[in-house]
Protein backbone atom coordinates (compact mmCIF):
# COMPACT_ATOMS: atom_id res chain seq x y z
CA UNK A 1 0.00 0.00 0.00
CA UNK A 2 1.28 3.47 -0.87
CA UNK A 3 2.27 5.76 1.97
CA UNK A 4 0.86 9.28 1.81
CA UNK A 5 -0.43 10.63 5.08
CA UNK A 6 -2.00 14.07 5.04
CA UNK A 7 -4.81 15.85 6.84
CA UNK A 8 -4.68 18.96 4.65
CA UNK A 9 -8.08 20.13 3.43
CA UNK A 10 -6.86 20.65 -0.13
CA UNK A 11 -5.86 16.99 -0.38
CA UNK A 12 -9.31 15.72 0.59
CA UNK A 13 -11.30 13.85 -2.03
CA UNK A 14 -13.93 16.60 -2.25
CA UNK A 15 -11.22 19.03 -3.35
CA UNK A 16 -9.60 16.69 -5.87
CA UNK A 17 -9.89 19.10 -8.81
CA UNK A 18 -8.32 22.01 -6.91
CA UNK A 19 -5.57 19.73 -5.64
CA UNK A 20 -4.75 18.49 -9.15
CA UNK A 21 -4.75 22.02 -10.57
CA UNK A 22 -2.34 23.15 -7.84
CA UNK A 23 -0.15 20.10 -8.47
CA UNK A 24 0.03 20.83 -12.21
CA UNK A 25 0.72 24.54 -11.74
CA UNK A 26 3.44 24.00 -9.15
CA UNK A 27 5.07 21.25 -11.22
CA UNK A 28 5.16 23.32 -14.43
CA UNK A 29 6.30 26.38 -12.53
CA UNK A 30 9.19 24.57 -10.85
CA UNK A 31 10.26 22.79 -14.06
CA UNK A 32 10.28 26.05 -16.04
CA UNK A 33 12.13 27.89 -13.28
CA UNK A 34 14.86 25.29 -12.90
CA UNK A 35 15.24 24.93 -16.67
CA UNK A 36 15.69 28.68 -16.85
CA UNK A 37 18.31 28.58 -14.10
CA UNK A 38 20.12 25.71 -15.85
CA UNK A 39 20.08 27.59 -19.16
CA UNK A 40 21.61 30.63 -17.48
CA UNK A 41 24.60 28.54 -16.38
CA UNK A 42 25.14 26.81 -19.74
CA UNK A 43 27.25 29.59 -21.36
CA UNK A 44 29.50 29.73 -18.27
CA UNK A 45 29.91 26.00 -17.66
CA UNK A 46 29.99 24.69 -21.24
CA UNK A 47 30.85 27.73 -23.36
CA UNK A 48 27.70 27.19 -25.41
CA UNK A 49 25.62 30.25 -26.39
CA UNK A 50 21.92 29.97 -25.57
CA UNK A 51 20.95 30.39 -29.24
CA UNK A 52 23.17 27.44 -30.21
CA UNK A 53 21.66 25.32 -27.44
CA UNK A 54 18.12 26.16 -28.54
CA UNK A 55 19.18 25.33 -32.10
CA UNK A 56 19.64 21.73 -30.97
CA UNK A 57 15.88 21.49 -30.64
CA UNK A 58 15.59 22.26 -34.37
CA UNK A 59 18.10 19.63 -35.41
CA UNK A 60 21.31 21.68 -35.45
CA UNK A 61 23.47 19.14 -33.63
CA UNK A 62 26.84 20.52 -34.73
CA UNK A 63 27.44 22.30 -31.42
CA UNK A 64 30.62 21.63 -29.41
CA UNK A 65 29.71 20.50 -25.87
CA UNK A 66 26.06 20.55 -26.95
CA UNK A 67 25.32 17.07 -25.67
CA UNK A 68 26.74 17.72 -22.21
CA UNK A 69 24.97 21.08 -22.03
CA UNK A 70 21.60 19.54 -22.94
CA UNK A 71 22.08 16.74 -20.41
CA UNK A 72 22.84 19.38 -17.77
CA UNK A 73 19.63 21.26 -18.56
CA UNK A 74 17.62 18.03 -18.61
CA UNK A 75 19.09 16.84 -15.33
CA UNK A 76 18.42 20.10 -13.48
CA UNK A 77 15.16 21.07 -15.16
CA UNK A 78 13.52 17.65 -15.32
CA UNK A 79 15.02 15.06 -12.97
CA UNK A 80 15.74 17.39 -10.06
CA UNK A 81 12.75 19.54 -11.09
CA UNK A 82 10.21 16.78 -10.46
CA UNK A 83 11.77 16.03 -7.07
CA UNK A 84 11.66 19.70 -6.03
CA UNK A 85 8.07 20.07 -7.25
CA UNK A 86 6.98 17.00 -5.29
CA UNK A 87 8.83 18.24 -2.19
CA UNK A 88 7.11 21.64 -2.31
CA UNK A 89 3.64 20.13 -2.79
CA UNK A 90 4.07 17.39 -0.19
CA UNK A 91 5.67 19.45 2.56
CA UNK A 92 4.33 22.97 2.10
CA UNK A 93 0.95 22.67 0.36
CA UNK A 94 -0.52 19.37 1.53
CA UNK A 95 1.69 18.99 4.62
CA UNK A 96 1.90 15.27 3.95
CA UNK A 97 4.34 12.65 5.19
CA UNK A 98 5.76 9.81 3.10
CA UNK A 99 7.32 8.23 6.21
CA UNK A 100 10.66 7.53 4.54
CA UNK A 101 11.95 5.64 7.56
CA UNK A 102 9.17 3.09 6.99
CA UNK A 103 9.79 2.97 3.25
CA UNK A 104 13.51 2.41 3.72
CA UNK A 105 12.91 -0.25 6.39
CA UNK A 106 10.78 -2.19 3.89
CA UNK A 107 13.68 -2.67 1.49
CA UNK A 108 14.80 -6.29 1.37
CA UNK A 109 17.42 -7.72 -0.99
CA UNK A 110 15.44 -10.85 -1.77
CA UNK A 111 12.48 -8.73 -2.84
CA UNK A 112 14.80 -6.51 -4.89
CA UNK A 113 16.04 -9.52 -6.87
CA UNK A 114 12.41 -10.29 -7.69
CA UNK A 115 11.92 -6.66 -8.74
CA UNK A 116 14.88 -6.91 -11.13
CA UNK A 117 13.33 -10.04 -12.66
CA UNK A 118 10.04 -8.16 -13.05
CA UNK A 119 11.75 -5.24 -14.81
CA UNK A 120 13.70 -7.57 -17.08
CA UNK A 121 10.50 -9.38 -18.03
CA UNK A 122 8.77 -6.06 -18.56
CA UNK A 123 11.54 -4.88 -20.89
CA UNK A 124 11.19 -8.01 -23.01
CA UNK A 125 7.42 -7.63 -23.29
CA UNK A 126 7.73 -3.89 -23.84
CA UNK A 127 9.60 -4.62 -27.07
CA UNK A 128 6.33 -6.03 -28.40
CA UNK A 129 4.41 -2.95 -27.23
CA UNK A 130 6.95 -0.69 -28.94
CA UNK A 131 6.45 -2.62 -32.18
CA UNK A 132 2.66 -2.62 -31.81
CA UNK A 133 2.44 1.07 -30.91
CA UNK A 134 4.73 2.13 -33.77
CA UNK A 135 2.47 0.40 -36.28
CA UNK A 136 -0.79 1.93 -35.09
CA UNK A 137 -2.56 3.98 -37.74
CA UNK A 138 -5.23 6.62 -37.19
CA UNK A 139 -8.37 6.81 -39.41
CA UNK A 140 -8.06 8.68 -42.73
CA UNK A 141 -10.10 11.53 -41.27
CA UNK A 142 -7.25 12.15 -38.82
CA UNK A 143 -4.44 11.91 -41.37
CA UNK A 144 -3.23 15.47 -40.76
CA UNK A 145 -3.01 14.84 -37.01
CA UNK A 146 -1.14 11.61 -37.67
CA UNK A 147 1.37 13.36 -39.92
CA UNK A 148 1.97 15.99 -37.24
CA UNK A 149 2.41 13.29 -34.59
CA UNK A 150 4.91 11.41 -36.74
CA UNK A 151 6.86 14.60 -37.54
CA UNK A 152 7.01 15.48 -33.83
CA UNK A 153 8.02 11.93 -32.95
CA UNK A 154 10.80 11.94 -35.56
CA UNK A 155 12.12 15.25 -34.24
CA UNK A 156 12.11 14.00 -30.65
CA UNK A 157 13.78 10.75 -31.70
CA UNK A 158 16.55 12.63 -33.48
CA UNK A 159 17.15 14.69 -30.33
CA UNK A 160 17.09 11.54 -28.19
CA UNK A 161 19.60 9.82 -30.48
CA UNK A 162 21.86 12.87 -30.27
CA UNK A 163 21.65 13.01 -26.46
CA UNK A 164 22.44 9.29 -26.15
CA UNK A 165 25.19 9.17 -28.77
CA UNK A 166 27.80 8.69 -26.05
CA UNK A 167 31.35 8.38 -27.35
CA UNK A 168 33.37 8.64 -24.13
CA UNK A 169 33.15 7.24 -20.60
CA UNK A 170 32.48 10.70 -19.06
CA UNK A 171 29.53 11.14 -21.45
CA UNK A 172 28.29 7.67 -20.53
CA UNK A 173 28.51 8.40 -16.80
CA UNK A 174 26.71 11.72 -17.30
CA UNK A 175 23.99 9.94 -19.25
CA UNK A 176 23.54 7.34 -16.51
CA UNK A 177 23.40 10.10 -13.88
CA UNK A 178 20.87 12.28 -15.74
CA UNK A 179 18.72 9.75 -17.63
CA UNK A 180 19.03 6.96 -15.09
CA UNK A 181 19.51 8.31 -11.57
CA UNK A 182 18.01 11.82 -11.69
CA UNK A 183 15.01 10.77 -13.80
CA UNK A 184 14.45 7.62 -11.75
CA UNK A 185 14.41 9.44 -8.43
CA UNK A 186 12.59 12.61 -9.52
CA UNK A 187 9.86 11.00 -11.61
CA UNK A 188 9.13 8.23 -9.13
CA UNK A 189 8.83 10.57 -6.15
CA UNK A 190 6.51 12.84 -8.15
CA UNK A 191 4.36 10.31 -10.01
CA UNK A 192 4.36 7.27 -7.73
CA UNK A 193 5.02 9.04 -4.43
CA UNK A 194 2.65 12.00 -4.93
CA UNK A 195 0.26 11.54 -7.86
CA UNK A 196 -0.52 7.82 -7.51
CA UNK A 197 -1.73 7.93 -3.88
CA UNK A 198 -3.83 10.99 -4.71
CA UNK A 199 -5.43 9.19 -7.67
CA UNK A 200 -5.96 6.14 -5.47
CA UNK A 201 -7.83 8.30 -2.99
CA UNK A 202 -9.85 10.27 -5.56
CA UNK A 203 -10.85 7.24 -7.67
CA UNK A 204 -11.25 4.91 -4.66
CA UNK A 205 -9.36 2.20 -6.50
CA UNK A 206 -5.69 1.29 -6.28
CA UNK A 207 -5.75 -0.16 -9.82
CA UNK A 208 -7.39 2.90 -11.37
CA UNK A 209 -4.94 5.06 -9.45
CA UNK A 210 -2.00 3.16 -10.91
CA UNK A 211 -3.20 3.19 -14.52
CA UNK A 212 -4.37 6.81 -14.55
CA UNK A 213 -1.02 7.86 -13.09
CA UNK A 214 0.77 5.74 -15.69
CA UNK A 215 -1.18 7.47 -18.48
CA UNK A 216 -0.24 10.89 -17.09
CA UNK A 217 3.37 9.73 -16.72
CA UNK A 218 3.48 8.62 -20.36
CA UNK A 219 1.72 11.72 -21.66
CA UNK A 220 4.25 14.20 -20.29
CA UNK A 221 7.02 12.56 -22.37
CA UNK A 222 5.22 13.68 -25.57
CA UNK A 223 6.26 10.60 -27.53
CA UNK A 224 3.04 9.52 -29.20
CA UNK A 225 4.37 6.31 -30.76
CA UNK A 226 5.97 5.29 -27.49
CA UNK A 227 2.83 6.00 -25.48
CA UNK A 228 1.68 2.43 -24.76
CA UNK A 229 5.11 1.08 -23.74
CA UNK A 230 5.60 3.94 -21.29
CA UNK A 231 2.08 3.49 -19.84
CA UNK A 232 2.91 -0.17 -19.30
CA UNK A 233 6.23 0.67 -17.69
CA UNK A 234 4.60 3.26 -15.43
CA UNK A 235 2.01 0.70 -14.37
CA UNK A 236 4.77 -1.75 -13.42
CA UNK A 237 6.39 0.89 -11.22
CA UNK A 238 2.97 1.61 -9.72
CA UNK A 239 2.33 -2.00 -8.77
CA UNK A 240 5.83 -2.31 -7.31
CA UNK A 241 4.94 0.52 -4.94
CA UNK A 242 1.47 -0.85 -4.19
CA UNK A 243 2.64 -4.37 -3.34
CA UNK A 244 5.77 -3.43 -1.37
CA UNK A 245 4.67 -0.20 0.29
CA UNK A 246 8.09 1.29 -0.45
CA UNK A 247 9.10 3.82 -3.10
CA UNK A 248 12.64 2.43 -2.93
CA UNK A 249 11.67 -0.45 -5.24
CA UNK A 250 10.13 1.58 -8.12
CA UNK A 251 12.93 4.16 -7.82
CA UNK A 252 15.62 1.49 -8.18
CA UNK A 253 13.63 -0.25 -10.91
CA UNK A 254 13.31 3.00 -12.86
CA UNK A 255 17.03 3.71 -12.47
CA UNK A 256 17.89 0.18 -13.62
CA UNK A 257 15.57 0.34 -16.65
CA UNK A 258 16.90 3.70 -17.88
CA UNK A 259 20.55 3.04 -17.04
CA UNK A 260 20.47 -0.34 -18.77
CA UNK A 261 19.19 1.32 -21.96
CA UNK A 262 21.86 4.04 -21.74
CA UNK A 263 24.61 1.43 -21.35
CA UNK A 264 23.21 -0.60 -24.26
CA UNK A 265 23.33 2.52 -26.46
CA UNK A 266 26.93 3.20 -25.45
CA UNK A 267 27.99 -0.38 -26.14
CA UNK A 268 26.33 -0.13 -29.55
CA UNK A 269 28.20 3.12 -30.29
CA UNK A 270 31.45 1.36 -29.41
CA UNK A 271 30.66 -1.55 -31.73
CA UNK A 272 30.37 -4.07 -28.89
CA UNK A 273 26.76 -5.06 -29.65
CA UNK A 274 24.07 -4.36 -32.22
CA UNK A 275 21.38 -2.15 -30.70
CA UNK A 276 19.21 0.36 -32.55
CA UNK A 277 17.27 2.72 -30.28
CA UNK A 278 15.03 3.71 -33.18
CA UNK A 279 14.32 0.27 -34.67
CA UNK A 280 10.72 -0.94 -34.60
CA UNK A 281 10.95 -3.16 -37.67
CA UNK A 282 10.71 -6.52 -35.97
CA UNK A 283 9.86 -8.20 -32.67
CA UNK A 284 10.51 -11.57 -31.09
CA UNK A 285 7.14 -12.91 -30.02
CA UNK A 286 8.74 -15.76 -28.07
CA UNK A 287 10.90 -13.30 -26.10
CA UNK A 288 7.87 -11.08 -25.49
CA UNK A 289 5.83 -14.04 -24.24
CA UNK A 290 8.68 -15.17 -21.99
CA UNK A 291 8.98 -11.63 -20.64
CA UNK A 292 5.25 -11.47 -19.90
CA UNK A 293 5.36 -14.79 -18.04
CA UNK A 294 8.37 -13.68 -15.98
CA UNK A 295 6.63 -10.38 -15.24
CA UNK A 296 3.39 -12.02 -14.10
CA UNK A 297 5.19 -14.61 -11.98
CA UNK A 298 7.38 -11.93 -10.40
CA UNK A 299 4.45 -9.65 -9.56
CA UNK A 300 2.52 -12.59 -8.09
CA UNK A 301 5.51 -13.68 -5.98
CA UNK A 302 6.21 -10.12 -4.83
CA UNK A 303 2.58 -9.67 -3.78
CA UNK A 304 2.72 -12.87 -1.72
CA UNK A 305 5.86 -11.75 0.11
CA UNK A 306 3.95 -9.22 2.25
CA UNK A 307 6.89 -7.05 3.27
CA UNK A 308 6.42 -5.70 6.81
CA UNK A 309 7.47 -2.32 8.20
CA UNK A 310 10.66 -3.75 9.67
CA UNK A 311 11.73 -5.06 6.26
CA UNK A 312 11.03 -8.72 7.07
CA UNK A 313 9.23 -10.97 4.63
CA UNK A 314 5.97 -12.50 5.67
Q: What is the pLDDT along the chain (314 residues), one digit of tens a residue?
A: 778 777 676 667 777 888 889 999 999 999 999 999 999 999 999 888 888 887 877 777 787 888 888 899 999 998 899 999 999 999 999 888 899 999 999 999 999 999 999 999 999 999 899 888 877 776 777 777 777 777 777 777 787 888 888 888 888 999 999 999 999 999 999 999 999 999 998 999 999 999 999 999 998 877 777 789 999 999 999 999 999 999 999 999 999 999 998 998 888 878 787 766 555 567 788 989 999 999 999 999 998 886 644 445 55
314 in a domain, yes or no? no
Q: Look at residue 265 in the predicted model and tell me its pLDDT.
A: 85
Give the separation between CA 212 and CA 203, rounded to whole angstroms.
Answer: 9
Which structural domain range is residue 279 located in? 9-305
4 in a domain, yes or no? no
Q: Look at residue 306 in the predicted model and tell me its pLDDT.
A: 66
56 in a domain, yes or no? yes
Q: Look at residue 90 in the predicted model and tell me its pLDDT.
A: 93
276 closest CA partner among 163, 161, 126, 130? 161
263 in a domain, yes or no? yes
Q: Look at residue 312 in the predicted model and tell me its pLDDT.
A: 53
- Write the CA distances from 220 to 57, 82, 226, 276, integer angstroms: 17, 12, 12, 24
pTM score of the predicted model: 0.90
Distance of CA 241 to the CA centre of its chain: 14
User: Could you please report the per-residue DSSP string of 135-185?
Assistant: T----GGGHHHHHHHHHHHHHHHHHHHHHT---SHHHHHHHIIIIIIIHHH
Give the separation between CA 254 and CA 142, rounded to whole angstroms.
Answer: 34
Domain count, the chain: 1
Helix (H, G, I), strand (E, B) or coil at 95: coil
244 in a domain, yes or no? yes
34 in a domain, yes or no? yes
313 in a domain, yes or no? no
283 closest CA partner among 127, 62, 149? 127
Give the separation between CA 143 and CA 146, rounded to whole angstroms.
Answer: 5
72 in a domain, yes or no? yes
Q: Look at residue 166 in the predicted model and tell me its pLDDT.
A: 85
Based on C-alpha coordinates, what's the Rg of the chain?
Answer: 20
Q: Look at residue 60 in the predicted model and tell me its pLDDT.
A: 77
Amino acid sequence: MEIYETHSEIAERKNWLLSLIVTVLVAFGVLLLLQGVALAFVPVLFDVPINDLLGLLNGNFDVPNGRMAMLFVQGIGSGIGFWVAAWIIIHYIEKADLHWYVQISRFQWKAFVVVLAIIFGGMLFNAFLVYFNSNLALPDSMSEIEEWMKATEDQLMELTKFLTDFQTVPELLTGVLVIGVFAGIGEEIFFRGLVQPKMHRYLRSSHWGIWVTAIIFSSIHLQFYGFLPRVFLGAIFGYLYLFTGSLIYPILAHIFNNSFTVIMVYMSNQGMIEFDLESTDDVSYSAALLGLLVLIAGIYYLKKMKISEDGQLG
